[in-house]
Structure 1
């Protein structure tokens, strides 16, 4: 019995040995379907990616690094004055032209009255110059008459002097023959001296008349230069006074500060009774109907991006249910790193390249903003359709 069992056991071991090699092929036959499945999966993923890139990815550039912006209006006074009224508060909607702040106008009103008085005084001064010009012209005519009279007197005195000289010379010749007495000679000498004196006086009068005429003409020319080539209203002196009056009126108008745009009031800092100075920020008005989006795309995404391409945007505020339509306006003049207070030192030895982002300005549809307003600083997701 033991011998038979030993032989049967040996035979079973031999069969087991011969059966083991025959079990390898089934294991190998199971690996081929696995490799085939893996290959099919990789091919499917590659094909899906290729299809996605061809049909969608190559026609779109997307970023969630986008934020709402606006050209806010800073409300600042242009004159120094105390605040008497503040008509708005933060979050309040205002329209263009609405009164925001009222300043004390006492000083501005007084300056306007002074400027108006100066303007009226300038008008009267120019009118007086016009009247003076007519007076000076009349004086010139009078001086011309005086000169003509002096010239006539000088001619008469010159003739009398010539006659007296001839009479004196004649009598001096005859006095040696005794034909003329000494008294006649004396009378002739006296007449000559009188004629000579009259000639000197006439000459002086003529010089004075000529000088008076030149002085009158000079005064008239100086006066005419002040009013020549312009009416009373166009006279430079009047224009200066008028400009001062207009400036005073502008300063008075500036005591009422109005909103320059439609929008929402933010950052209100002014209080009643506070004395403000020119350039001091009182508040800002954000024009929510004119907001835009600055989408910061990677530089490797911008190859096909051009101005005028359509943009689809979604806001985190409204979610995917609200779709905004925009248009690419243009590109910023530089990246954020270039305009930072401490720009990157790329020339150093430990430089590491970092992909930069360039802001792309996107204009939004104003009609959509009326239905779904956006505030400055909100996050957006931008999708530019580069294929269009």
Structure 2
């Protein structure tokens, strides 16, 4: 009976110590959790100076080569994967029609210049014509004065014979002759007046023609008259179209997507090929929205490619941010206003410029994968 109390004491001891152990464990866990948060905060503030992503791809502002004139392709002087320099001939279009157009435009320009010279010569002829009408007017004026004098004389003779005829002093034949002479004089006066008015009208017509002719060439020379300028513009356009029958590379780069063949008839604006400027490339790095808090324009970026591996490091700079996420500009944007909506972390393209010298040493191609690390300074 004396051993029972000691047994009861042994049984009750573990029940008292277990809560104390739990408190100690919880305290230790809490301390560890607080330390982890502190370490993480310290790492974020003092040690996390970069943001990186492997969702990055090489891009370039490619040159789309299109036909500026239509016609049949005579020669294709390049192929896919070929490296070309700015100014190299890529395609030649049959230029015979263009040469004919140039010849026709040149002939039209020569014709218009000759017409301008003819117009200038017409001014001199019209001046001479006006002077001739002055002489004609003076001649018609003299004839008019003469006709008026003849009418006055015939009228006086007729009145005198009319008085004598009333008294029977002259014969009827003489009276009739006097009357006819008076009527003839009046008719001649009418003809003279008409001739004088015609001479005045001819002078006015000549003066109008001279003014109209001078209006065509007033203030201009043979090279500045409107008709010559229009003809010159057509000739320049024809020469430009002739030059455009030779398609040249606008930039240095690699030819891709060539879709033109010899003998093919092409139309204006038709795509012929693409030239990728491999020395002027950039990288679009798609960072998570939570990574962009401290990413700024002008920050340095280190990049590696899957093509060369980590041994080749490219150096670039952040030059801008896209105006929206990839989902925002997708062909079929996400419809988030639904009942089964699930939040997805979005990514925003960040444009990174690459060093042309490094691209020359280790060329890249459009679409290759890159790893980008932005230095947050």
TM > 0.5 between the two?
yes
Aligned with 2:108 (options 97, 112, 118): 118
**1:356 & 1:150 partners in 2: Cα distance?**
101
The yes-or-no answer on 1:243 pairing with 2:233 is yes
- Unpaired runs of 5+ residues, structure 2, are none
- Distance apart, 1:213 and its partner CA: 1.8
**1:168 & 1:295 partners in 2: Cα distance?**
121
Instruction: Give 2:40's aligned residue.
Output: 49
Aligned with 1:276 (options 256, 266, 286): 266
- Distance apart, 1:102 and its partner CA: 1.8
The yes-or-no answer on 1:326 pairing with 2:316 is yes
- Distance apart, 1:80 and its partner CA: 2.1
Aligned with 2:186 (options 193, 196, 207): 196
Evaluate the alpha carbon distance shift between residue 189 and residue 266 of structure 1 in structure 2; reply closer, same or farther with a 3 A threshold: same
Instruction: Give 1:69's aligned residue.
Output: 59
Instruction: Give 1:375's aligned residue.
Output: 365
- Distance apart, 1:30 and its partner CA: 8.3
Instruction: Give 1:261's aligned residue.
Output: 251
**Residues 1-388 of structure 1: matches in 2 within 5 Å?**
17=7, 24=14, 38=29, 41-57=32-48, 59-173=49-163, 175-176=165-166, 185-386=175-376, 388=377
Aligned length in residues: 376
**1:89 & 1:264 partners in 2: Cα distance?**
9
Evaluate the alpha carbon distance shift between residue 170 and residue 309 of structure 1 in structure 2; reply closer, same or farther with a 3 A threshold: farther
- Distance apart, 1:104 and its partner CA: 2.0
Point out the more displaced range, 301-310 or 112-121. Answer: 301-310
- Distance apart, 1:105 and its partner CA: 1.8
**2:81 & 2:31 partners in 1: Cα distance?**
60
Evaluate the alpha carbon distance shift between residue 203 and residue 329 of structure 1 in structure 2; reply closer, same or farther with a 3 A threshold: same
Point out the more displaced range, 313-322 or 168-177. Answer: 168-177
- Distance apart, 1:340 and its partner CA: 2.1
**2:343 & 2:169 partners in 1: Cα distance?**
137
Point out the more displaced range, 37-46 or 305-314. Answer: 37-46
- Distance apart, 1:54 and its partner CA: 0.4
- What SS is found at the alignment partner of 1:342? coil
Q: With structure 1 as the length reference, what TM-score do the two structures score?
A: 0.83
- What SS is found at the alignment partner of 2:359? helix
Evaluate the alpha carbon distance shift between residue 345 and residue 19 of structure 1 in structure 2; reply closer, same or farther with a 3 A threshold: closer
Point out the more displaced range, 145-154 or 300-309. Answer: 300-309
- Distance apart, 1:170 and its partner CA: 4.2
Evaluate the alpha carbon distance shift between residue 301 and residue 157 of structure 1 in structure 2; reply closer, same or farther with a 3 A threshold: farther
**1:164 & 1:85 partners in 2: Cα distance?**
96
Evaluate the alpha carbon distance shift between residue 157 and residue 356 of structure 1 in structure 2; reply closer, same or farther with a 3 A threshold: farther
Instruction: Give 1:4's aligned residue.
Output: none
- Distance apart, 1:248 and its partner CA: 1.8
**2:66 & 2:246 partners in 1: Cα distance?**
11
- Unpaired runs of 5+ residues, structure 1, are 1-9
- Distance apart, 1:271 and its partner CA: 2.5
